[in-house]
C-alpha cells in the first residue's frame, strides 16, 4: 500500500511562499506602427506660352555677290605704273595700272603720216578731175561746132570724127580721175580705221575699273609683261557687296524661302552679321545631295571673301504653348506628354509644332499651365502616384 511522503507537502508549502514574494513584471510593450511610404518625387514643368523661333543652321564661305575683272587684250606690253592694290576701294573708270605705249605711239605717228599722204593724193586727183572736166567741156564745144559745119556741108566728115573722138577721150579722162579720187578717199578711210584701232589700243594701256567696288586681287606686277592669255590683272567685288554661299541638305530646302532673315557668324568675328536669303539654287548636287543658298549680307559687314561662316536661318517666329523637348515621348510615331493631375500621371497624345532649341511647341493636346513630367518615359507610367516638384522650386535653369 502506497504511503504519502512527508517531503511533498513541504515542497508545496515552499513554492507557495516563494511565489508570494517574487516580483511581477509588466507585459512587453508593443513595437511602433510601420510608416506609410510617400509617393516618389518627380520634376514637373508647366506648359507656358512664349515666343518660338525655329532656325536652321547652314555653313559655307563668304564670296563676292558679283565679281568684275579688269585687264587688257594687249600682249607684249610692260606695266609701267600701278595705281591700285588689294583692299583699295575704287570707282568706275579709275585707272588701276598703266602699260608702256611707246610702240603704239610710233605706230600712230606712222598712220598719221600715211593719212597725210593719202589726203595729198586725193587733192591731186581732185585737180586732175577739174582739168578733165574742162577738157570735156572744150571737147563738147568743138564737137558741136563740127556738127554744125557738117550740117552746112562746109566741114569734112573727118573733122566731125576727130571732134567725136576728142570728146570721148576727154570723158574717159574725167571718169579715170573720178575713180582715182574714189580710191584715194577709200585709202583715207582705211587709214582712219587704222588710226582708230591704234587709238583704241593706246586707250587700253590704261587699265581702268569696270565698276565701283573693292579690289580683291592684283595680279599685275611693275615691269611685268602682260598677256591676254594670262588672265585679268585685277579682280573687284562689285559694290563691295558680299554674301554667304552656303550648302544645305535637300530635305531642308522646302522650308526655306527667299527673303528669310539670317544671322551670320564669320570665323574669328566677335559679332554676327545680318543677312537675308537672296537665292535658292534650283539644282541639287547629285553626289552630295546638297543644295546651295546665297545669303546677301548687310552693307559694311565685317567679313572677307573666303571667310568660313555659319548662318542661322529664321524659319518660323510665332507665339505658342511650349514644353521642354525632354518631356516628349514617342510611340509608333505619335508624340505623347505625361501630364500630372491630382498627383497622378496620365499620358496624352499631342501634336507637335515648331522646335526652337530645347523647347517644342504643342499645337494640340494640352492647355497652357498644365504640368507635365520634365523627362518623360523614364521613371513613371500611367496611373503612378507621384509628388510633383516644380522645376522653378528646384532652382534648375529652364530652357
* Tens digit of each residue's pLDDT, the chain (399 residues): 334 444 344 434 343 444 444 444 444 445 555 555 678 888 889 999 998 888 889 999 999 999 999 988 888 899 999 999 999 999 999 999 999 999 999 999 999 998 898 888 888 888 888 888 888 888 787 777 777 777 777 766 777 777 788 888 888 888 888 888 888 888 889 999 999 999 999 999 999 999 999 999 999 999 999 987 888 999 999 999 999 999 999 999 998 999 999 999 988 888 889 999 999 999 999 999 999 999 999 887 888 889 999 999 988 888 999 999 988 988 888 999 989 888 888 889 999 988 888 889 999 888 898 899 888 876 788 888 888 888 665 444 455
Of 2.40.50.100, 3.40.50.360, 2.60.40.420, 3.40.35.10, which CATH number belongs to 70-100+206-235? 2.40.50.100
C-alpha 277/C-alpha 67 separation (Å) is 19
Q: What is the pLDDT of residue 32?
A: 59
Of 3.30.200.20, 2.40.420.20, 1.10.150.120, 3.40.50.170, which CATH number belongs to 44-53+319-394? 2.40.420.20
Q: Is 394 exposed, middle or buried (0-12, 13-18, 19+ CB in 10 A)?
A: exposed
CA distances from 221 to 76, 77, 80, 181 (A): 14, 12, 9, 50
Q: What is the pLDDT of residue 234?
A: 93
* Of 305, 279, 303, 273, the residue nearest 293 (C-alpha): 279
Q: What is the pLDDT of residue 35?
A: 55
The full set of domain ranges for the chain reads 44-53+319-394, 57-61+239-317, 70-100+206-235, 102-203
Of 3.40.50.300, 2.40.30.170, 2.40.240.10, 1.10.340.30, which CATH number belongs to 57-61+239-317? 2.40.30.170
Q: What is the pLDDT of residue 133?
A: 81
- At residue 325, the 3 state secondary structure works out as helix
Count of beta carbons in the 10 Å neighbourhood of residue 278: 16
Q: What is the pLDDT of residue 184?
A: 85
Q: What is the pLDDT of residue 34?
A: 58
Amino acid at each position: 500500500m502506497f504511503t504519502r511522503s512527508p517531503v511533498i507537502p513541504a515542497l508545496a508549502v515552499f513554492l507557495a511562499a516563494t511565489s508570494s514574494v517574487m516580483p511581477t513584471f509588466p507585459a512587453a510593450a508593443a513595437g511602433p506602427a510601420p510608416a506609410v511610404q510617400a509617393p516618389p518625387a518627380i520634376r514637373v514643368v508647366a506648359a507656358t506660352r512664349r515666343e518660338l523661333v525655329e532656325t536652321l543652321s547652314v555653313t559655307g564661305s563668304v564670296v563676292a555677290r558679283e565679281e568684275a575683272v579688269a585687264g587688257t587684250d594687249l600682249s607684249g606690253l610692260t606695266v609701267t605704273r600701278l595705281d591700285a592694290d588689294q583692299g583699295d576701294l575704287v570707282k568706275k573708270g579709275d585707272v588701276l595700272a598703266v602699260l608702256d605705249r611707246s610702240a603704239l605711239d610710233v605706230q600712230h605717228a606712222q598712220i598719221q603720216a600715211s593719212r597725210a599722204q593719202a589726203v595729198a593724193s586725193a587733192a591731186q586727183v581732185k585737180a586732175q578731175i577739174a582739168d578733165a572736166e574742162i577738157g570735156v567741156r572744150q571737147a563738147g564745144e568743138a564737137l558741136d561746132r563740127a556738127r554744125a559745119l557738117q550740117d552746112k556741108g562746109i566741114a569734112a566728115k573727118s573733122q566731125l570724127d576727130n571732134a567725136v573722138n576728142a570728146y570721148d577721150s576727154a570723158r574717159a579722162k574725167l571718169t579715170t580721175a573720178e575713180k582715182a579720187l574714189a580710191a584715194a578717199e577709200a585709202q583715207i578711210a582705211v587709214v582712219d580705221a587704222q588710226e582708230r584701232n591704234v587709238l583704241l589700243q593706246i586707250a587700253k594701256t590704261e587699265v581702268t575699273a569696270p565698276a565701283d567696288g573693292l579690289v580683291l586681287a592684283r595680279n599685275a606686277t611693275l615691269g611685268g609683261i602682260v598677256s591676254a592669255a594670262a588672265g585679268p590683272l585685277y579682280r573687284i567685288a562689285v559694290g563691295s557687296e558680299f554674301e554667304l554661299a552656303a550648302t544645305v541638305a535637300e530635305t531642308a530646302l522646302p522650308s526655306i524661302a527667299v527673303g528669310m532673315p539670317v544671322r551670320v557668324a564669320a570665323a574669328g568675328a566677335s559679332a554676327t552679321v545680318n543677312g537675308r536669303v537672296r537665292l535658292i539654287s534650283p539644282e541639287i548636287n547629285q553626289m552630295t545631295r546638297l543644295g546651295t543658298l546665297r545669303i546677301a549680307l548687310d552693307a559694311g559687314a565685317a567679313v572677307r571673301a573666303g571667310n568660313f561662316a555659319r548662318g542661322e536661318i529664321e524659319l518660323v517666329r510665332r507665339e505658342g504653348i511650349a514644353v521642354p523637348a525632354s518631356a516628349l515621348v514617342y510611340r509608333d510615331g505619335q508624340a505623347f506628354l505625361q501630364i500630372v493631375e491630382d498627383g497622378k500621371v496620365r499620358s496624352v497624345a499631342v501634336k507637335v509644332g515648331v522646335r526652337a532649341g530645347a523647347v517644342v511647341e504643342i499645337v494640340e493636346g494640352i492647355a497652357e499651365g498644365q504640368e507635365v513630367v520634365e523627362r518623360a518615359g523614364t521613371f513613371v507610367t500611367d496611373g503612378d502616384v507621384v509628388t510633383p516638384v516644380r522645376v522653378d522650386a528646384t532652382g534648375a535653369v529652364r530652357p
